[in-house]
Amino acid sequence: MSLREAIQYSLMILLYLFLQIFFMRNIVLFNYAFCFIYIAGILLLPADIDRLYLLLIAFGIGFTVDVFSNTFGMHASATVLIAYLRPFLIHYQMKSKGAERAEVGIRAQGLGAFLFYLFPLVLLHHSMLFFMEMNHFGMILYTLIRIGASTLFTTLLIILLELFSKR
């Protein structure tokens, strides 16, 4: 990765963090759907990034959101989980397509493959986050509705941001 690309990805991550900390944490649809746009900073990084760097970046992003949200490591752990599983999903997609080099994004993958990559990781992130937040099993239906609504909301916004980006 060149210096220019590293700066572009760093600015992208800072933009998603800024959006999450100052805007998205206040947006809740129908008391169920929350948007965690900051995970796009992890999911849209290049496919060939070193796993150690990916995990460190994910921890830094999640920890920053935790500090501003007062959530005591919940975002950091959920973000590190998806950063850990991301290379396996990318490798699976490369193997199924027969490609030698994977690119991440709608323009490179197409909408279907991008959704196949994006949706499971967003669902996993939100599931871990909301299940950690759940106090007792009486809240299971409410938690499942929050997971589904938030996954759809976050996925839709990530796709819209990806469609309107110049990358």
pLDDT tens digit string along 38-78? 999 999 998 889 999 999 999 999 999 999 998 889 999 99
Per-residue pLDDT tens over the stretch 4-30:
888 989 999 999 999 999 998 888 888
Distance from C-alpha of 71 to C-alpha of 50, rounded to nearest angstrom? 28
pTM of the entire predicted model: 0.91
Cross-strand partners of 28:
34
Run of H or E residues at 28: strand 28-29
